[in-house]
């Protein structure tokens, strides 16, 4: 038995009388064999061990699904997933749910990840959006993270930036090779006004296998605002790697948008240092659609010649912060818009009306503002 699973079982057995915890009787061999017959392969050993101690029940983090037949069981959840994806219940690569979170999503084994059940990673599946994201490398990792959360002093505390960050850090400590853990930490660090730490967390998420491709885009935007060329270049090397349109969709950006951000960093470099940035622009141009190529060519010409960059395409039809003649008042309005959530990184980079203010005020200071939920 793995250590996380052992801790999980021992903690629940020691707290089975606690309020909010309700554990069912152990699953019978018949129940376990039945679900294995239904899915056409063995259950992961660790899940079998847990169900053999308590066949489902209410946990502090949600509902552990039982083996057996009927509503609320693993079998019923598998059928729900099959219906959602419009595929056969017996599809050998269909997700295998085992837990419903307090947020309503399903945690499931990703059976498409390999032929051996004990190596299946854990994904979070949202029935509302259809999004599937890897959340734990192993079932043992999920068990260990559960116990770490349940025993943390802030487990039942009000949800804040600090508790959100603490949750992410516990996940990173338990599974340092899981991209979603680093992404949670990065989000929390940004909220906490710690952008220099956040960019490192985004880059760690982008280095994982599998990575979260959009984390490089987030890292790049932060790097340009914070004026961190090394971090920007790391993100750019991955963002410019040749990829199909589906991967660009997961990057949540386009080659021309990346080029517009790259240009703002490249133009600050000494002329003799711009060759690497120009090569990235060429890689982006090779992947851009025809309408985007003109944008990239214009950025490249400016970087190569040291001339002013073309005005970036704004993210909104109108600026989220109307320009003001008094720079102090304008700066105060920008700060408040960021606190309110109406001003985002994209606006700081692409809103042409903010260009004058950027010349006189350090936008990196905006990112150091703490924003509560």
Segment 5-33 mean pLDDT:
96
The pLDDT tens digits of the residues spanning 142-164 come to 999 999 999 999 999 999 999 99
The pLDDT tens digits of the residues spanning 27-53 come to 999 999 989 988 888 999 999 999 999
Could you give the C-alpha distances from 311 to 29, 30, 90, in angstroms and in order? 68, 68, 54
Contact call for residues 215 and 340 (beta carbons, < 8 A) = no
SS3 197: helix
Contacts of residue 10, defined as CB under 8 A and 6 or more positions apart, other chains included, come to none
Distance in angstroms (rounded) separating the CA atoms of residues 174 and 161: 20
The pLDDT tens digits of the residues spanning 196-240 come to 999 999 999 999 999 999 999 999 999 999 999 999 999 999 999
pLDDT at 343: 96
Segment 177-206 mean pLDDT:
98
Distance in angstroms (rounded) separating the CA atoms of residues 259 and 267: 12
Question: Which helix H or strand E contains 220, and what residues bound it?
Answer: helix 214-226
pLDDT category of residue 1 using cuts at 50, 70 and 90: confident
The pLDDT tens digits of the residues spanning 285-325 come to 999 999 899 999 999 999 999 999 999 999 888 999 999 99
Strand extents, DSSP E, 90-228: 96-101, 106-109, 122-125, 132-136
Q: Is the pLDDT of residue 370 over 90?
A: yes
Could you give the C-alpha distances from 55 to 4, 268, 322, in angstroms and in order? 18, 61, 59
Percent of the chain's residues with pLDDT above 90: 92
Token digits for 76? 């019923």
SS3 310: coil
């Amino acid at each position: 038995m793995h250590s996380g699973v052992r801790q999980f079982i021992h903690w629940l057995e020691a707290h089975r009388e606690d309020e909010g915890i309700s554990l069912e009787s152990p699953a019978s061999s018949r129940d376990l064999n039945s679900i294995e017959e239904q899915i056409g392969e063995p259950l992961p050993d660790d899940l079998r061990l847990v169900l053999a101690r308590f066949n489902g029940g209410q946990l502090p983090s949600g509902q552990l699904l039982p083996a057996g037949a009927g509503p609320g069981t693993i079998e019923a959840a598998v059928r729900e997933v099959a219906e959602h994806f419009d595929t056969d219940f017996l599809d050998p690569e269909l997700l295998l749910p085992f837990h419903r979170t307090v947020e309503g999503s399903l945690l499931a084994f990703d059976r498409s990840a390999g032929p051996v059940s004990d190596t299946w990673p854990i994904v979070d599946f949202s029935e509302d959006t259809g999004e599937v994201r890897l959340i734990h490398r192993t079932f043992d990792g999920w068990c260990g993270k559960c116990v770490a959360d349940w025993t943390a002093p802030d487990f039942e505390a009000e949800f804040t930036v600090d508790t959100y960050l603490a949750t992410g850090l516990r996940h990173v400590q338990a599974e340092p090779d899981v991209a979603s853990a680093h992404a949670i930490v990065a989000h929390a660090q940004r909220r906490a006004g710690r952008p220099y730490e956040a960019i490192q967390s985004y880059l760690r998420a982008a280095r994982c296998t599998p990575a979260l491709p959009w984390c490089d885009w987030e890292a790049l935007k932060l790097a340009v605002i914070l004026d961190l060329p090394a971090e920007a270049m790391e993100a750019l090397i991955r963002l410019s790697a040749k990829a199909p349109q589906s991967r660009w969709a997961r990057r949540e950006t386009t080659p021309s948008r990346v080029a517009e951000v790259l240009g703002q960093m490249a133009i600050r470099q000494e002329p003799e240092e711009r060759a690497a940035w120009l090569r990235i622009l060429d890689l982006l141009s090779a992947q851009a659609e025809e309408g985007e190529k003109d944008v990239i060519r214009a950025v490249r010409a400016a970087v190569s010649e040291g001339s002013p960059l073309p005005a970036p395409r704004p993210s909104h039809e109108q600026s989220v912060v109307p320009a003001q003649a008094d720079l102090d008042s304008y700066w105060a309005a920008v700060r408040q818009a960021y606190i309110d959530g109406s001003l985002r990184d994209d606006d700081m980079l692409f809103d042409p009306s903010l260009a004058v203010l950027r010349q006189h005020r350090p936008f990196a200071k905006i990112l150091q503002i703490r924003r509560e939920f």
